[in-house]
Amino acid sequence: MKITFLGTSAGAPTRRRNVTSIALQLDQQSKLWLFDCGEGTQHQVLRSPLRLSQLDKIFITHLHGDHLFGLVGLLASRSLQDSIESPVTIYGPQGLSEYIRVSLEISRTRLQYPIHIEITKPGQICDTEMVEVFAAPMSHGITAFGYAVSEKTQPGRFEVERAKELGIPEGPLYGQLKRGETVTLLDGREIDGKSLVGAEKPGRKIVFCGDTTFTPNAIELSRDCDLLIHEATYMHADKPLALRANHSTAIMAAEVALQAGAKMLALTHFSARYEADTAQGLPELLAEAQSVFPNTYLAHDFWTVTVPRREPPTA
């Protein structure tokens, strides 16, 4: 699982940061998922190794413009690329379907591939062979969601060399043994597949908390996650601004990570007032969060984070 931050600014872009969008690449799959799609996201994709031809799903946290205004343009540009016919599924709050439909109709844009729009509701919203996606309401003054991508437990490695040493012929029997089944060989021996399969590989979990002030829902969604991506629009000194706009301070985000038992916290969605050349900059914001949750990092545009696989539990 690899994360690429395509935009890390709040509200409007700055000279250093674009508005919100985050890309997720799943292991062993040539598929790209986006979480939010602020204005200019397609330009950010062009400046990265990512490819729109691999776009499979888009998850919109809420319908504020800095998380949404790049969506229709990105879909339209993807349609101009030759031979792209693979569909895109888009998840988001009520009103997203109307926004996309009206934008496409008024601009007379005809996509050359199908799109499917799913209205996000709390609970499981997506179930694939590799992962499940869950949504939970955030607290932002309008309908807003956080998303958790949970990788399913993977079977352990099948020990091919041991199977060969036991004289088990290659073919369909290997498939049965990989599934942990017991098979009977031609010589009458019974082989328990579980004895030839290593420990299961625990799945990873990445959580995307869209715009929100502190809420217990974010804690529950983020429980035991490998990576929590959480907005940190303001510093503690500007907490009144955060509360007025239903945003989080860095300390609020760190408290979510701490109470959820997250392994790593990545902060994003920063107010332009904290750019590096201001009196109070992002290093101070980071220090506030690290005082609560030490394993905290500041995201920046084009920062890539690879989430390593979890080690199987020891006996």
Q: What does the pLDDT look like over 257-303, one tens digit per residue?
A: 999 999 999 999 999 988 755 546 889 999 999 999 999 999 999 99
Mean local confidence (pLDDT), 142-166: 87
Active site residues: 66
Q: What is the DSSP string of 13-58?
A: --SS--BSEEEEE-TT---EEEE---TTHHHHHHTSS--GGGEEEE
pLDDT top residue among 173 and 299: 299
Instruction: Using pLDDT thresholds of 50, 70 and 90, give the confidence band for residue 313.
Output: low
Question: Does position 231 have pLDDT exceeding 90, yes or no?
Answer: yes
Check residue 259 and give its pLDDT.
98
**Residue 180: its pLDDT value, please?**
76
Q: Determine the pLDDT at residue 194.
A: 79
Residue 231, helix vs strand vs coil: strand
Q: Are 257 and 293 in contact (CB under 8 A)?
A: yes
Q: Are 287 and 267 in contact (CB under 8 A)?
A: no
Q: How many helices (H) and strands (E) does the chain have?
A: 9, 16
| Burial track 202-237 (b if 16+ CB lie within 10 A, e otherwise) | bbbbbbbbbbbbbbebbbebbeebbbbbbbbbbbee
In whole angstroms, give the CA distance from residue 293 to residue 295: 6
Cα separation, 315 vs 313, in Å, equals 7
Residue identified by tokens 């031609």 is: 186
Q: What is the pLDDT of residue 175?
A: 74
Which residue ranges form the domains of the chain, and what is each CATH number?
2-151+205-306 (3.60.15.10), 160-196 (no CATH)
Predicted local distance difference test score (pLDDT) of residue 62 = 97
**H or E segment at 124?**
strand 123-127
Residues 6+ apart with CB under 8 A from 240: none
| Helix runs in 122-271, H state only | 160-165, 172-178, 216-221, 239-244, 250-260
